[in-house]
Structure formats: C-alpha cells, structure tokens
Structure 1
Amino acid sequence: MNIGDTLRFFRTKLKISQKDMTPEYMDASAYSRIEGNVRSIKLDELQNIFEKTGIHSSEFFRFYDLDYRQTKFKELYIYCATHLENKSKKNKLIDYYYKLKSNNHKNSTELSNYIAIKNFFGPHWDEVEEITQQEVDHIFSILINKNFYLHHDYVLISNIVRLFSAKQTDLIVPRIIPIPFDKNRNIETKKFAHNTLINIISLKLYAMDHSGAEKYIKLAKKQNKLETDYNFKLNLQYLNNLLQYLMTGEMVYIERVHDFIHILEDIGDDLHADQVKKEVKILTHDKDSKKMLESYEVGLFKQD
C-alpha cells in the first residue's frame, strides 16, 4: 500500500472520519487529497496524525512498505530457494539477475541482491555464475573503505564472508561488530550482523581452525546480551558445544548438540535440523579441511 492507502486503511479500521484524522492546523480538503494520493504528506503532518489517532509509527510502516521492491525480491528469492525446480519463479529471478549482471554501476542494494543470488543459486542453477575472486576483492575494497555500514552492507558481508581470506575477515569484523548505533538499528540488520559471526565461526570449524572459532565465539557472546534474538543465541551455543566436542572429545558436548537438533525437529524446523545433522556429520567424521570447506554452504536464505 502507498501512504494514502495506508492512512485510509487505518481510518476505516478505526471507524473514524477524515476530520478525526486531520490535524487541527490542516485543511480537511488537504487531508482528503493525501488519502487520494494527490497531495504528498510532510513528516510533521504524519507525526501529528499518529499523535491524534494513537497509531504507532512502527505499526503504520509495517503496512506502508517503503521498500516494496526489495520486499518482493526477498519473497521471490526465498520461494526459489525452497522450490528450486519451479520454472516460472526461477525465470523471474533469472531475469532480475541478468539485469543486475549487466549493470556496471550497482547501488548497495543491487550489489547485495546480486551477490545473494550468485551465492545461493550459483551451485544449483547453470544460468547463475558463482562468485569470482575478482568480485570478492572488489567488494572487500568497497566495504573496507566505508565509514558507516547500512543494512544492505550487513547482508552483503553475511553472504560473502565465506570467501574472504582470514586476513580480510579479521580486518572487516572490527568495523561492523559491535554494531555502531545498535539501538537505532532494525531487527533485521542486527540479525544479518549476528549471522555474519555465526558464518565465520562455522567456517573456522570447517577449516579446523579451533582457536579462530573460539576467538569469534567469545566476540559473539558479547553481542545481543540485552535482546531476544534466540535464534542467534541457540545457534551460537550449538557451535560452542560442537567446538568443545571437537577439542575435548567429551560426550556431554555432542549430547547437547543432539539436544539442539531435537529442539529444531520439535518446533518443525526440519530444514535447519537437516542442515545441522549434515554439518555435524562432516565436522566430526571428515578430516580433510579442504574438502570440508568445499562442502560449506552459506547465504541469505540461511539467516532465517
């Protein structure tokens, strides 16, 4: 919905008149033109409407999607990730991918989407090329020279961190973690920032770099202390238990890992449970670090 439609939606649901929505200083006809999408609305006018009607701003903007195109992309992306053989949806995403590929001046959102598509679908679809080393180095150069990181930067880093060298990872993480101005960031941005840490820890385990995994687990534990991102906390604890088992061989830790899998199955998250089972099998049975790294999968889709 656009802003006029959203205002009308709330007004009709609240069963109040346009007059009841209109700030005292605003002409009634002016408000009517806003609802009709003929006149734009100023920020202070919208704020006054919220105060008069009791509409909460965050709730309002959940109905009025400022980022409509990106929402549609995410819906298409996630659908394709879970229905790889659906040709009509696949063709839509491929068409978008080709447009991004031909664009030599991608903005941060477009670059993030482009890498997300390549990262997840490259191994599955012949039409999508996998990320090249040249792209990795180019993106690292862009990111390391930024002074402030926005939402799509965190999405981009989460998707491409698996391809960074250990040195690149160690250089970029202190710039994004702890999240600057974290109290003003939305939940989704924080999830991608935390997911980056989860991805790095997993990568360290696949590379059999236990000391590196331990370092990033300690860093991750310092984040999210006052929030309720339990998905992050549970995954972090799972990885910590897995690391402790790999380092000590004590069965109590692998039992806790299996408890985590059972929780995922009990809540119906079978896809995640299967991913964890596969990961545990690889990490506890395979001793070839190169082979293990090649089997590692990460992407936008995994953050949920």
Structure 2
Amino acid sequence: MDDILLPDIQTAGGPHEVVEEKNNSSRRSGLSLAVGQSIPTNCHPVTPETKPLSHLEVSQKLKDLLGYTLEVKQSEIPHKDAGKGVFIDGEADVGTVIAFYPGVVYSPAHYRYIPGYPRIDAQNSYLITRYDGTIINAQPWGIGGESRVIWNGSGVSEPMPNVEGTDKGSDKIWKMLSKPLDGTGAIKGEILERRNPLALAHYANHPARDMIPNVMVCPYDFPLTEKDMRTYIPNISFGDGEEVKMRRFGSFWFKSWKSGSAGSNIPILKSLVLVATRSLCDEELYLNYRLSNSKQRPSWYTPVDEEEDRRRWS
C-alpha cells in the first residue's frame, strides 16, 4: 500500500523521516532561537503526506497489484432485508486474506462502554465477537473515507435512543450488575488509512438457504511493533490498550484476581480478517454468522450447520 499511496520521495530515511525532519525544523526555527522562545511541542501524531488519490483510485491500483479488490453494492441474496453486500472484484486463491473487520475494539473489561449497552445489537448490525470475548464495532467506520487521518472512532460514543419501558428482565439484570458507562474521550486517535479498500468485512452477508459460505472469520493479533504497517490496520482499541484479566461466568464477565501472565510481552491489537475458503472470482462474499440458537434469530437467518452454531455458543 505504501507503493500506492506515498509520494515518490527518494531519501535515506524514507518519506516518514522527511515529515519528521520538517516538523523538527519548524520547532527549531531561526526566529525562535533569536527571541529566546521555543515553539510548543506538537503532542499529536503527524499525518504523512500521501498521494491525492480517491478511494476508488486506490481500490483500482490495489487490484492491479494483488489481482483483486473489494466493492460494496446491493446484495444478491433474495431477501428484502439483505441490504448491501461486499463483493470481490477479481480473483483470489483459497486461504487468501480477503478483508479486514474495521472499527473500535472492546475487551470484555470495556463492554459497558459500547454504545447502546446492554442491548448493543438493537440498532447496530456491525458487531462481531472473537472467541476470546473481544468485540469489534464497525459501525463508526462505515464505508471508509477519502484520506489518511487521525481517527478516534468518531461517532462511537453517540448515545442510542432510549425507549421507556422496553427493558426486558434480562436487560434489567444486566444494568443492575453492570451500569452502562460513557466512553467519551477514552479512545486515543491513531493515524489510519481510511481509503483501505479491504476494510469492508462488516458488509459480508450471511448466506441464504442452499448457499454455501465462501469466507471464514479468523482472529489476528497485529503486533504494534510493526510501525510501518499500523496505518493500514483499520482498528483502534478502546481505553489505553492495557490488558485486563477477565473471567467468564455464564453470560457475565468479571475481573480476575489471578496474577501473572504466560503470554508475550509484545503489545498487540486484536483484530479479525476474512479468509477465502475456496477460490473466488467476481462474486459476493458470504460469511456464516453462527448466531446463537438460544435466542430468537431474525427471519432471514438460515443455519448453515446447527451443530456448529451450538458449539460456538456452548
């Protein structure tokens, strides 16, 4: 993606270093030295200069490079609630990473900050859960954007309409045990490429009856030590990124008092990708949602494998 978006500047340190040098030179201007004053240090990350390409142009160039890209258009599923779907434009082999699931990442310790909690899915169909309990909210990402910006999940803290008298018994229990919290200002902005053509996994639809999924979800832990790649990972973590040990009891998560960690000390960003389960060519992507069979499922949902759904939520 750097080959597509970064200007063709030939320097020993690369384009990122050029931006940093410009920033340093502005802080040490001759005028500031002459008057004995220093210009305040800029605490915000500097967004590197990129080529003035539109989202569509970046998408086409990525297709020229990889052999495929993604586009969002009306789904081919024959159901009135199908809405839009995501399609692969080009060809990809089985096992290829097709798409990233973008948005704000919430650990179980931060569930109460998810907009609409506890009924977070009441007005948001762009949520997904990893096996470790991490939830990704793709709603604020939407279709992406037209530039590289400092993104802080704008829109994620907007309150959901509260309808009086609609709380069910289970919702009242949730609110008694864990009160919803306001997460305004708790997300640190990161420089992200909003023109990422592959950050569209949240538009993948569940297959209709007699249709077979052609992609599967795969958790991916992105090492934050890979600085050059960070801008292309379309996710940000809620909170300061510090890992809080949690244990699950039924439907509830509680802080664990167990000390020590056997995991790696390398900081990571928990994300999800879609991987092709067969060769793909100019077609819509279908993902098995595996909705819980213990709750009422929407009318459009046809289980691909009931036993698999049962194992997912057991």
Which TM-score applies when normalising by structure 1?
0.23
Specify which structure has the higher proportion of helix. Answer: 1
**Structure with max Cα Rg:** 1
Choose between structure 1 and 2: higher strand proportion: 2
